[in-house]
Each structure stands twice: as C-alpha cells, then as structure tokens.
Amino acid sequence: MPELDLASIHLPHANPFLQGNFAPVVTETTAFDLPVEGEIPQELEGRLLRIGPNPLGMPQDETYHWFMGTGMAHGVRLRGGKAEWYRNRFVVDDTTAGPLLRLPLPGPRNGRYKNTVNTNILDIAGRTYATVEAGGLPVELTYTLESSARSDFDGTLQHGFVAHPKHDPETGELHALSYQPDLKNLSYIVVGKDGRSRTIAEIAAPHGPMVHDMAFTATKVIVLDLPVTFNMEEVGRGFPYTWNAKSPARVGLLPRSGDLSGLRWFDAPACFVFHIMNAFDQGDTVVLDVVRHSRTFDQERRGPGEAASQLVRWTIDLVSGFLQELLLEERGCEFPRFNDAFAGRPYRFGYTASAEDGVRFGPSYKHDVRTGHTETHDYGPGCATLEPVFVSRQGSSVEDDGWIISFVYDATRNASNVVIVDAQAFSEAPVATIHLPVRVPFGFHGNWVPDTI
Ligand SMILES: [Fe+2]
C-alpha cells in the first residue's frame, strides 16, 4: 500500500497536547526487518500493539482535548528473535473515512454512538479490537491493523463498550463497567470466551460519573464513583467531563454475581483515578492499588496533568466501613500494569511509567507493593516510556519472571524504540532495543498479543 501523506491537514499549535511527541504523525508507515540492538527473546512470537490519539479532520487548536483525537493503532511483530515489521494505521471512523479515502466501516452503530475509537487495543476471543468508552463500539482490526468493521460482539452489546475490560485468568472472561452520557446507569458487563457479552447488572449513577477503569477480586467488582462528571456546558466544546466538587468520592463493592442488594459504598478521598493496578480480598478487607490524581479536568480541560498522580493503596475495612490510604510511591506515575495471571489475587509487583504532573513522562518503575521499594529503569537521555507491558516467560509461575516491553520515545532521534527489559533485572541494560523508523506519539494503552492464544 502506498504511504499516505496527510501533511497538509496537520496544523501545529501551542496546545501542549499537540506539541513534541504529543503531536500527531501524518503518515501511515510500514517497515520490515527492523534494526535491533541486543537479542529479542526467541519465545516472543506475536505483536506488541498500542493505540493513542492522532487527530485528523478535527480542529487542532487551543480547544483540542487529548482524549478526543482520532485513533491510531501501532504494532510491532516479533518472531524468531527478529522484529519483522512495524505498522501504524488510523482507526477508521465516520469522520476520517473520507479524508483517508476509505469507505465507512460496515457494522452497527448502537445506542448513543460515539465515533472516535482511540483508547485500548487488545485481543478478544482471537480477534483484534480497538476500544473506547462513553458510548463507542469497538472497531475490529485485521492482523496487520487495518480497520475492518464496527462490532457489537455479534449483537450482544447493547450500548457502547469500555477502554479497560479486565481479563480474569481463572475463568478466561473479561469484566467491564461501561458508562455513557445519556444513560443513568453503569453497566456491569462480562464478555465470555466466545467473544459475546452479557449484562450482569445496571448500577444507578444518575449524576453521570466518568468511570474509566474497574477491577475485580475473587468475590467483588470494584466500582469507582469519583468527582469527574458529565458537564452539559462542555458539550460541543470537546470533552464533556469536568471536575465536580459537589459529587461524591466513593468506592463501590458489588458481588460478582451482580446482586445489587449486596452493593456497598465506601467514602474515598476527593480525587480522580483513571487506573487501578490490581485489587484483591484480604480477610475482612478489600485492597486496591490505584494511581490517584489529586484533581483533574478542573483548570486544565484539554487533558490530565494539573496535579500529582501517585500510586497509593486503598484498604477498605468491611467491618468498620472505613477506607485507609497508604502512599506507595511519592514520584508521579501512570499507566499501571502487572502480571495479569495475578489479576484479582494478592500480588507483589506492579509497573508504571513515570509521569510527573500526570503527563511528563520518563523512566519506568517496578513497584514492590509489599515492601514499598521501587526500582527504576532509565531509558537514557531524552527517552520517555509510556505504559510498560509485562509479558510472562512461558510456563513460569514466578510473578516477575518475564519482560517489560514498551514503546519508548527517543527525542535525540525524534523516533521511537520498542525496548525489552528483563523484569527480574529491571534496572540493568535492556535485553533488546528495536529501532522504529518513526515516532509513536504519546498515547494511551496497548498489549502483547501472542500468535498462539
Ligand atoms: Fe486508561
């Protein structure tokens, strides 16, 4: 396929979410046989996928909100110790199909349809999907990241989907909490191994909270109800969710059965949490590790970053009804990940990207959440990582036996690398660094998708 030159559409601006490596790239690139420093582990056979905003066909000015940009998927395919290819492709939506000279995607447009899909990219039942929250249906992608169709999971998804479905290693199912502006409920959804969804419960939320993430324990689903809510005054100006000091800050614990009579709410510190690292039951308590933003979308309404984002542990005492907070890491961080085989269970190690002021990125961290000790991996001068993805060594049950893999922006060459770090030698030199020919803009989420799932 010829490379697409969209340079005439790109207009640089002073908005920080359009500057430096936040700025969109204007071409779709395909590159083969990428240069590698070090050795890619032979057993890594599959794709490292990533997605983020890359605005196209929308104003790129002071009003642009980082969360609203057109989706762009990025992928690197590894096999036999080689980096076979890198590809980036727009996630086609109804706004961009025209400028991209493509037909609108086939498939449903359920409910209050949200167009842009830019927040996560993952495998569901053997298919690759780009996903988004707040009313958007997933877009199914081909192995090589071309958009193929909108999907409502074979007609089983009533409304939109979510950015953060959570995989349960015990059952193979995905758990999700969806919300959208026109609905007064949060929907607790489970997607089965067959890729079909079912709604387990509808939780009343008439005040319209933004619920970006969820987690589960062996017995409960974690519901975050925090003071960022739908704001009608912002509709039409971009992103319609803002800080709302009048709204409660609370955590709900719902039995996994969805029995609403068992739903309990616990007061939390006034803050916003985009991401939960993990959660688990421990005696008469429920423990959840979260990245807490002390405030967001209050003064700065183009993206996060107006206050500290810190990793904290919330311990909810089911007997006393109180939630206690413990600071796990003073330095700012975001995009928490861990070994997914420990989802919903007691665990020890988590990984984040450093993020001073919420969005100034740099090294990655390995957090020992039992001891509070943090290790740092510094990628070198001018280098900044986003979400560090943990990939377990095949057959190993040791929690940190594997690799941390991430896209790392290198300002010295204005391009990105994929860097593979031994998670048990976290501060040491990388195992391998794969040089991409272009940069991958700072964006949101991604996953390792092995070829054999
Ligand atoms: Fe997220």
pLDDT digits (tens, 9 = 90+) for 25-59: 999 999 999 999 999 999 999 999 999 999 998 88
Q: State in Å: Cα 74 to ligand 1 middle.
A: 17
> What is the tens place of the pLDDT at every residue in 131-149?
999 999 999 999 999 999 9
Q: What does the chain come to in residues?
A: 453
- At a CB cut-off of 8 Å and minimum separation 6, what does 192 contact? 125, 173, 198
Q: State in Å: Cα 385 to ligand 1 middle.
A: 15
Q: State in Å: Cα 283 to ligand 1 middle.
A: 29
The dihedral sign for the CA sequence 53, 294, 19, 85: negative
Q: State in Å: Cα 163 to ligand 1 middle.
A: 6
Kindly tell me if the per-residue pLDDT of 328 is higher than 60: yes
Q: State in Å: Cα 67 to ligand 1 middle.
A: 10
Q: State in Å: Cα 68 to ligand 1 middle.
A: 13
Kindly tell me if the per-residue pLDDT of 190 is higher than 70: yes
Kindly tell me if the per-residue pLDDT of 188 is higher than 80: yes
Q: State in Å: Cα 155 to ligand 1 middle.
A: 25
Q: State in Å: Cα 274 to ligand 1 middle.
A: 6
Kindly tell me if the per-residue pLDDT of 215 is higher than 90: yes
Name the DSSP class of 182: T
Kindly tell me if the per-residue pLDDT of 9 is higher than 60: no
Q: What is the mean pLDDT of residues 356-385?
A: 94
Q: State in Å: Cα 423 to ligand 1 middle.
A: 22
> Minimal CA–CA distance to 195: which of 156, 235, 166?
156
Q: State in Å: Cα 276 to ligand 1 middle.
A: 9
The dihedral sign for the CA sequence 335, 438, 143, 452: negative
Q: State in Å: Cα 355 to ligand 1 middle.
A: 14
Q: State in Å: Cα 215 to ligand 1 middle.
A: 12
> Minimal CA–CA distance to 71: which of 151, 163, 8?
163
Q: State in Å: Cα 132 to ligand 1 middle.
A: 9
Q: State in Å: Cα 139 to ligand 1 middle.
A: 17
Q: State in Å: Cα 119 to ligand 1 middle.
A: 7
Q: How do the residues of the chain divide into helix, strand and coil, expressed in percent and rounded to 5?
A: 5, 45, 50
> What is the tens place of the pLDDT at every residue in 221-248?
999 999 999 998 888 777 899 999 999 9
Q: State in Å: Cα 275 to ligand 1 middle.
A: 6
Range scoring the smallest mean pLDDT among 3-17, 223-237, 419-433: 3-17
Q: State in Å: Cα 18 to ligand 1 middle.
A: 19
C-alpha triplet 435, 436, 441: angle, nearest 5°: 125
Q: State in Å: Cα 52 to ligand 1 middle.
A: 10
Q: State in Å: Cα 443 to ligand 1 middle.
A: 10
Q: State in Å: Cα 336 to ligand 1 middle.
A: 9
Strands 127-131 and 120-124: antiparallel
Range scoring the smallest mean pLDDT among 57-61, 164-168, 200-204, 419-423: 57-61
Radius of gyration of the chain (CA): 21
Q: State in Å: Cα 33 to ligand 1 middle.
A: 31
Q: State in Å: Cα 446 to ligand 1 middle.
A: 10
So what's the pLDDT on residue 182? 86
Q: State in Å: Cα 80 to ligand 1 middle.
A: 31
Q: State in Å: Cα 8 to ligand 1 middle.
A: 31
Range scoring the smallest mean pLDDT among 158-162, 338-342, 437-441: 158-162
Q: State in Å: Cα 116 to ligand 1 middle.
A: 15
